[in-house]
Amino acid sequence: METQSLTIQIKKVEKSKINEVDFNNLAFGKNYADHMMYCDYKDGKWHTPQIVPYGPMEFHPSTKVFHYGQAVFEGMKAFKDDHGTVHLFRPEQNFERINKSSKRLAIPEFPKDLFFESLEALIKLDYNWVKPGQGNSLYIRPFVIATEEGVAAAPSDSYRFMIITCPSQAYYNKPVKVLFAEKFSRSANGGVGYAKAAGNYGAQFYPTNLAKSKGYDQVIWTDANTHDYLEEAGTMNIFFRIGDKLLTAPTSDRILDGVTRKSVIQLAKDKGIEVEIAPVEVKRIKDAAKVGELKEIFGTGTAATIAKVTAFEHAGEEFPLPEVDKEYSVLMKDSLQDIQYNRVEDKNNWLHPVKP
């Protein structure tokens, strides 16, 4: 059945597959909602967005994304409150960041009105895929790929902007152990570390696999020049608690400006917790651990929300983190989720309601 809105063409599924999904046992990113959105850029402009049943698409082997990696993406979530209303969490931040990432990779920026109208239309179509209850959400993945056919090393002249969604629960269902990087780096000055470029993540897989072979879950990357300063983890920004103070590295052209990161910083300040945003030296963290001043390390990210770190290793030394009362990681996660599920007043206006 074809329907038409002012700027979106919609083709609905004949039958939903929602009853085929076990929502109590979800593997992250393995089950997808009924519909997806795509919008093509060609002849110098973005065309009419399409919402269609989720499924495969066909591209030529010479499609430029396969050869030169012009691809950026975002990660965001929708939550359903106890009254049945769905809320997007800080979607403006994701919209701004995907265009910032696109600009760095010479991809045309996507119009704001098309982004929000198509996103809301997609959520409304798959409203029942957003389940209420603690830990449940709909993970939303906007992304852009280069679609021109040709292997010349030049920016594409055509692109496809897409949004797919999948029901999700916790990305990390247990605390993690991390390895401080000594050799490998995630990004360098002047590079694309601040962009959510697909290649940033592909380049992390090998050193992360090395860490996993040693019994660690993630790598905390260090700066490319000296490896003396801690920057971010593979899928998360990272926070350190020394005494009652939170430390996190400043964003730069090497570090992603995480939405959860900036939300945690604001929540901590709202609660009177001191936050130091400055370069974090490996030596400082190790010294604090040795004398018992390092209380917590935790990662923040859309998929992970907040992931507690139980131990870290560097230069052959492993440092277990102590058990502490009133963990900041728990406080921040609870405070964040209370807002996301609309259980408390949204004083910072972070929620964007979407009604069916």
Number of CB atoms found within 10 A of residue 162's CB: 18
pLDDT digits (tens, 9 = 90+) for 259-302: 999 999 999 999 999 999 999 999 999 999 999 999 999 999 99
Q: How far apart are CA 312 and CA 153, in angstroms?
A: 41
Q: What is the pLDDT of residue 2?
A: 42
Question: Considering the chain, what percentage of its residues have pLDDT values greater than 90?
Answer: 92
First to last CA, the chain: 19
Eight-state DSSP code of residue 114 = H
Question: 3-state DSSP call for residue 94?
Answer: helix
124 touches 1 (CB < 8 A): no
The residues pairing with 285 across neighbouring beta strands, listed in sequence order, are none
* Residue linked to tokens 């929000």: 116
Tell me the domains of the chain and their CATH numbers.
2-168 (3.30.470.10), 176-339 (3.20.10.10)
Q: How far apart are CA 8 and CA 87, in angstroms?
A: 21
Q: What is the pLDDT of residue 206?
A: 96
The reply to whether the predicted model has a pTM over 0.85 is yes
pLDDT digits (tens, 9 = 90+) for 172-199: 668 899 999 999 999 999 999 999 999 9
Which amino acid is residue 325, in one-letter code? D
Q: Which helix (H) or strand (E) holds 83?
A: none
Q: How confident is the model at residue 170 (pLDDT cuts 50, 70, 90)?
A: confident
pLDDT digits (tens, 9 = 90+) for 301-325: 998 889 999 999 999 999 999 999 9
Q: What is the pLDDT of residue 6?
A: 52
Mean pLDDT estimate for the chain: 95
Q: What is the pLDDT of residue 7?
A: 79
pLDDT digits (tens, 9 = 90+) for 5-34: 457 999 999 999 999 999 999 988 999 999
Q: What is the pLDDT of residue 1?
A: 36
The dihedral through the CA atoms of 248, 252, 256, 260 has a sign that is positive
Q: How far apart are CA 245 and CA 273, in angstroms?
A: 7
Question: 3-state DSSP call for residue 274?
Answer: coil
